[in-house]
Structure 1
Amino acid sequence: MKETFSPSVRALRGVSGAPVLPVTPPDPGALAAKVRTLAPSMTRSMQRVAEAVAGDPAGCAHLTVTALAVRTGTSEATVVRTARLLGYPGYRDLRLALAALAAQQATGAPPAMTADIAVDDPLGDVVTKLAMEEQQTLADTAAQLDMAQLEAAVAALAAARRTDIYGIAASALVGQDLAQKLLRIGLIAHAHADPHLAVTNAVQLRPGDVALAITHSGTTHDVIEPLRAAFDRGATTIAITGRPDGAVTQYADLVLTTSTSRESELRPAAMSSRTSQLLVVDCLFIGVAQRTYEDAAPALSASYEALAHRHSPRSGRA
């Protein structure tokens, strides 16, 4: 049975047990996205630290760990824990990122704008606000994606004997999208939205297979259960989640973190999480297609040809 290991150890394992690059600290420009993504899972004191560094990177970059603790009414230990949760090895690394972010902001680039949708907003304003939020969500997700983890996930999918994908509700739609993309380039992939079928299929997996779970919250039991079953049987496991500290990551060899905009009454998290999940899925698919191009190109061409008649006018038919 495959041993359970911590996120830090998982990040050092390759898809076949060999070491890979450790998790890369986030790009300075992704700091605000990281704070938005992780804030719900932070303690209130950690939230104060995170909000301070995201809101005033230039000011905080000059503060010692003690000074930042005083400014936020927390402790030095809380500051260090917050830095590590945000993806930095220590507070010194966070300060360097803050200085870099402050330098970027000093160039005069306008800050990203966000706006909640009100119940009485004109439809034109709704379109503008949604477009703005979607763009920000995509930019945040792209900025905070760990390239080492993404590369390893692509390699695992490209080499997999079989890929099982688990997701519920909106995440199930994303899983179906990835499955049909992989099928069209000649790979064996199945998306399971039924939790019972997901588990019964997961227990059939073995080393050389891939199981991929999609859950924004990171706590969806119906997604975690089949991923755990696949993990225990030696399959390479991948999680696409908005919560890198969520329960699903306990059984994931590789974790791909998504970002979402703020949740509001008329725009639940499922909307923006789907957008960011689809970006990650597209990155995985393109990466796999590149790696398997000699086989993928003919398979994709054959699938186009097989469906071509369904897109042509049916003249002369009853």
Structure 2
Amino acid sequence: MTDPQRPTPENLVARVRGVLPSLTPSAQIVARLILDDPATVARSTITELSAASGTSEATIVRTARVLGFSGYSQLRLALAAAAATGRGGTDRLVPGDLAPDDPLSDVIAKVTRAEAQAISDTAAQLSPEQLGEVVGAITGARRVDVYGVAASGLVAMDMAQKLLRIGLSAHAFTDAHLALTSAVLLKPGDVAVGVSCTGETPDVLEPMRQAGLAGATTVAITNNPRSALAEVCGHVLISAGRETTFRPGALASRISQLLIVDYVFVGVAQRTSEVSNGALHATRAAIGRFKADFRPRARRPS
């Protein structure tokens, strides 16, 4: 598996959110302090942060390394740089959770802000090199199978539909039994894409394992770069989404997963522009004729 992009001030926040579910309970305390009050963490020595978090200095160092830094000093520098560029303030890190008594005007503002942030975080941490490798694999694939369930299943269907529109053989599977049936029949040169917010969904994880054993190129779209799904896949595209009380993880990540699908789709369409343009024109014309043929006609007066 190719390691995700090294953390920068632009993608540090997304990296912390992404690995949070996979951290140990003590490391999660450190990570939440980083998200809730990055300026204080940037100013704190490791001894001060240990006292404030109630965790050991060794836990803090391990957390920094999980985030991609060699130690706590480098993490502090990155947090300071994020604050200096306006990317580490609490407005960015904590967009505001939804409360049961929030007026709809606040619901609109908070959801909009969270969705916009998910898009921004995904763009900041996505590696163009990694994306290019995925686009290249899909462009030359005999077949593309996409696996996902629940909200991620909707993303899987969107990806398959988009690729189908430009002439690729693409199929989405939201049932584990059908996914496994498909996965074991894949061959080298085929591509399997697994979509899972947590990266731990068995219905996606096992078909992706089988697809890899069959020789297919494997791609993960997930929030968690340290998940089991990321470990079994040859390519990992990291999405970002902040979980809140009324927006659980799968829903929070959907917009960023769809963004990654659009990146892949446009990249493939660019590389196959002659074929994809023809396919888009043909499918658009077919749908247009269908709608015209079955459009209700006004009845003539008797």
- Above 0.5 in TM-score? yes
Contact 1:83 1:90 in 2 (8 A): yes
Aligned length: 298
1:201-220 equivalent positions in 2, closer than 5 A:
201-220=182-201
Say if 1:254 and 1:92 are closer, same or farther in 2 by CA, change over 3 A: farther
Deviation at 1:54, TM superposition (A): 3.9
Deviation at 1:292, TM superposition (A): 1.6
Say if 1:64 and 1:317 are closer, same or farther in 2 by CA, change over 3 A: same
Unaligned runs of 5+ in 2: none
1:1-318 equivalent positions in 2, closer than 5 A:
10-11=1-2, 23-61=4-42, 68-69=49-50, 72-105=53-86, 111=92, 114-264=95-245, 266-312=246-292, 314=295, 316=297
Contact 1:217 1:243 in 2 (8 A): yes
Distance 1:102 1:108 in 2: 6
Deviation at 1:200, TM superposition (A): 0.9
Distance 1:108 1:220 in 2: 33
AA of the residue aligned to 2:109: T
* Residues 25-62 of structure 1: per-residue CA shift (max 9 Å, x gap): 12313222322332232223212332344445455446
Say if 1:106 and 1:205 are closer, same or farther in 2 by CA, change over 3 A: closer
Say if 1:90 and 1:186 are closer, same or farther in 2 by CA, change over 3 A: farther
Contact 2:5 2:127 in 1 (8 A): yes
Say if 1:106 and 1:34 are closer, same or farther in 2 by CA, change over 3 A: closer
Say if 1:270 and 1:230 are closer, same or farther in 2 by CA, change over 3 A: same
RMSD: 2.7
* Residues 175-222 of structure 1: per-residue CA shift (max 9 Å, x gap): 110001101111111101121111111111111110000111211111
TM-score normalised by L of structure 1 = 0.83
Say if 1:173 and 1:288 are closer, same or farther in 2 by CA, change over 3 A: same
Deviation at 1:282, TM superposition (A): 0.9
Contact 1:158 1:292 in 2 (8 A): yes
Deviation at 1:234, TM superposition (A): 1.3
Runs of 4+ in 1 over 6 A off after TM superposition: 106-109
SS of equivalent residue, structure 1 residue 28: coil
Distance 2:189 2:70 in 1: 32
Contact 1:164 1:211 in 2 (8 A): yes
Deviation at 1:101, TM superposition (A): 0.8
Unaligned runs of 5+ in 1: 1-9, 12-21
Percent identity over the alignment is 49
